[in-house]
Amino acid sequence: MGYIPAGIAFGVLAQVAGVPIWATIMLSVVLYAGAAQYACLPMLSAGLPVGSIATNIAAINLRHVFYGVPLLQYLPTQKVARTYCLFALTDETFSVMTSLPAESRQTLLLPVSLFNQSWWVLASAIGVIIGTALNDLVPHLDFALICLFVILAYEQFQSIKRYFPIGIAVIGLAIASLFTSNWLLLVAIAICMLLILTRAFWIQRKAIKDKVIGGSDDQ
């Protein structure tokens, strides 16, 4: 249900940016990436080349690669459904699916993905209908998506109780803020990815070392 205010805010902001109605709806159908859709509005409004917009969107959505890995085993077996679930794997869908019991994930991944995108497209259309009037009444509507992320992060933490993701996010943002302001999100994401890979390498190396030591003790 959090998609409703976030989607409405996107539709309103798209109208403020001068994006045509049909293009706003198509962005929610074909692109369907909340943060990237918000980010592309000023780029579309400024008339940036398609290549530049696509590059920025690809960089922002790079985090979805990490979302897909834990859910690969739960993807539908049917090819079309499998492809759609990979396309529709957003932050919100990932958060919902990883909070569910493992035995029900494969059954629910497709309907949850369809349900979430349907709400997003519907909310975007409502935002388009409302138009710029809401933006005049409620400034900084783009903060709606941030609020949704905060709620999802809190729900995820309550379910899993893992501190490492929060830690690397804070560290990544702190380090990125020292070097840039225009590319803060992309640099922070890159730092987080580096920290995740470093931790995985360290854990793997420690496991191999423990195995070797354990084998020596047995002998």
What is the helix (H) or strand (E) element at residue 21, kind and residue range?
A: helix 21-26
More confident residue, 191 or 150: 191
State the pLDDT confidence band at 214, using cuts at 50, 70 and 90.
low
How far apart CA 141 and CA 9 sit, in angstroms, is 5
Instruction: Give the mean pLDDT of 154-179.
Output: 85
- Helix/strand/coil for 153: helix
State the pLDDT confidence band at 135, using cuts at 50, 70 and 90.
low
Is residue 157 within 8 Å of residue 30, measured between CB atoms?
A: no
Instruction: Give the mean pLDDT of 112-125.
Output: 93
State what percent of residues in the chain have pLDDT above 90.
Answer: 21
Instruction: Give the mean pLDDT of 119-128.
Output: 92
The yes-or-no verdict on residue 219 having pLDDT over 60 is no
State the pLDDT confidence band at 136, using cuts at 50, 70 and 90.
low
- Tell me how many degrees the CA angle 88-193-107 measures, rounded to the nearest 5: 30
pTM of the model: 0.70
